[in-house]
Amino acid sequence: MMVTINTTKTLYSPENIEVGIVHIGLGAFHRAHQAVYIEKNLNRNMGGSWGICAVNIRSNYQLVDQLERYGCRYHVVEYRNSQNGHLREINAIREALYAGDDKEVLFERLLSEHTKIVTLTVTEKGYYIALTDKKLRLDDPSIQYDLKHPAQPKTAPGILVEALYRRREIGLAPFTILSCDNIPNNGSLTRQAVCELAAQRSDEFAQWIKDEVAFPSSMVDRIVPAMTDESKKRLQRDFKIEDPNAVLSEAFSQWVIEDNFPLGRPDWENDGVQMVKDVHPFETMKLRLLNGSHSLLAYIGSAANFETIAKTRAVPEFAALVRHYMHVEAAPTLEMPEEVDVPVYIESLMLRFSNDSLHHRLSQVAIDGSQKIPQRWFACTEERLNANKDIFAVALGIAAWILYVSGRNLKGQQHLVDDPLAERLSECHANTDKPQEIVRNILDMSDIFPSILREHDGFYQAVLSAYRMLITQGVMACLTVFESDE
C-alpha cells in the first residue's frame, strides 16, 4: 500500500541553539509533542535560545545513550491515516542526560542562568500526590529518601526543590515549572508537591516558592503509541529510513498553556499553541471525553480480547458505548467557553479513535489504571449520582477494570497488570471468588475511591451489577443497552 508522504526538515543550525528548557521525563510522548512544538518554533525563528535538555532520572538510560549517539537528531512520523503520513526531522533536543545515582550533571543545567523553564512528563505517579486528598505522600519510600538525601534526590519533586533551593542561595531567579502530564490542574498539583516537600526544610522556603515560582497548568493532547518492531518496519517500508529514536504519532496535536512565564517563553502562540488565562475547561474536556473513552475501550475491549483502539472502536457496539458515554454521561458535566463546540469535538474524537495507522494498543492505555481512572471518570460520576442519573458506561468500565486487574480476561488468559497498586488489587481477587466481595474490597480502597463513592450504595450496586453481567454473560451482552447509530 502506497503512503502519501510530506516532509519537514530542520532549517536552523542545531549547534548554535542555546538550551533554555530542561525537560524531566524523556520518552516517546515528549519527543512527539513538546519537542515538536519547540522544533516548529526554532524552525520559524531560524534558531533561538529555547533548545531542550531532556533528562531521565530513574530509568531508560538506553534511550539517552541512543539519542546521544545520533546527536539527539530523530524523526517524528505523523499519520493522518494508513495512507497519509508526515515525516518531521527534530533537532530541538540539544542534550540528553541520564541522571540516575548522580544528579550533579542535571543540577548544573538547572542552575544555569539560561534555564528559564522546566517541563515534566513523569506520569501521575511521578508527583507522589495521593489522589483522594491531593497531599504529598510523605510516607512514600522515595520521598523519605529525598528528605534524608536532599542533595541527591530520586524524585522529580525532590529535584525541583533542591534546584530551587540552590538557585535561591546564589541569587538566581527561579525557573517556571510547567507540567505536561495528563492530570487535572497539573500546575496546582505540581506546586502542592513541591511546596509540601520544601516545607520539610522550612516554612519560609516553602513560602518563597509559593510567592516567587510560577506553576502554569497545561493540557496536552496527541496519541503516541509505543514503538514496536512492526512500527520500525513501517518506517523503513513507508519512509525508507532507519532511525532507532523515531516515534510515531497521530497527525492531530494540541497544547493549551496558561500564560504565566516570568523569565520569558517561546512565542508558542505562533506555532499552534493556545495560550490562555485558564486551562481548566480544556483539560477537563479532554480528560473526561478523550481519556475517559480511551479507558473504556481499553478495559472493556481487553475483556473481549481486542488488541488496539482502532479495532475496538470499529465494532458498532463499542462505538455506541463510547458515543453514549461522551454524549450522555460526560459532556453534560462540562462547562466550556462559548466558542468550544463539544459535539464537534466528540465527532473529531470518534475519527481519531478510528485512525488505523497507529496500532494504539489497549495494554498501553490500561497501564496505571488506579492512577488514571479517578481523574477521568469520578467527577462526572459523582455529579450524575447526585442528580439520580444513570452511570451505565462508567459502571461497566469500572467492572471491566476490576476484571482486568485480576490479571486474567474472560477466557482465563493471563496478562501483566502494570499498576503501582497491582499487588493489592490482585489480593482483592485472590481471597474470594464472590463478585460482591471482590467489588466491595476494591471499591473500599480509599487511595483510589473518594468517600462519596465508597459510601454510595447506588454506585456499589451499579458496578456490582455490571461486573456480574460481564463475567456471566460476556462483553457483547453488556453492550446491548447502548444503541448503535452506525
pLDDT tens-digit readout, 199-228: 999 999 999 999 999 999 999 999 999 888
**Number of neighbours of residue 236 by Cβ within 10 angstroms:** 11
**H-run or E-run covering 66:** helix 61-69
DSSP character string of 122-166: --GGGG-B-TTT--B-TTSHHHHHHHH-TTS-SSHHHHHHHHHHH
Number of CB atoms found within 10 A of residue 131's CB: 20
Distances (CA, A) of 117 to 24, 95, 260, 378: 11, 15, 11, 32
Task: Give pLDDT, residue 237.
Answer: 84
Q: What are phi and psi of 386, to 5 degrees?
A: -65, -25
Alpha-carbon distance 50 to 335, whole Å? 35
pLDDT of amino acid 147: 97
Task: Give the count of beta carbons closer than 10 Å to the beta carbon of residue 289.
Answer: 24
pLDDT for 230 equals 85
Mean pLDDT of the chain: 94
Q: Look at residue 2 in the predicted model and tell me its pLDDT.
A: 57
* Global pTM value: 0.86
Q: What are phi and psi of 65, to 5 degrees?
A: -60, -40
Dihedral pair phi/psi, residue 128, rounded to 5°: 55, 40
CA 478 to chain centre: 29
Where the chain has pLDDT below 50, the residues are none
C-alpha to C-alpha distance for 300 and 107, rounded to whole angstroms: 44
Q: Taking the mean position of all CA atoms in its chain, how far away is CA 484?
A: 30
User: Beta strand pairing status for 117-120 and 19-24?
Assistant: parallel
Distance (Å, rounded) from C-alpha 306 to C-alpha 297? 9
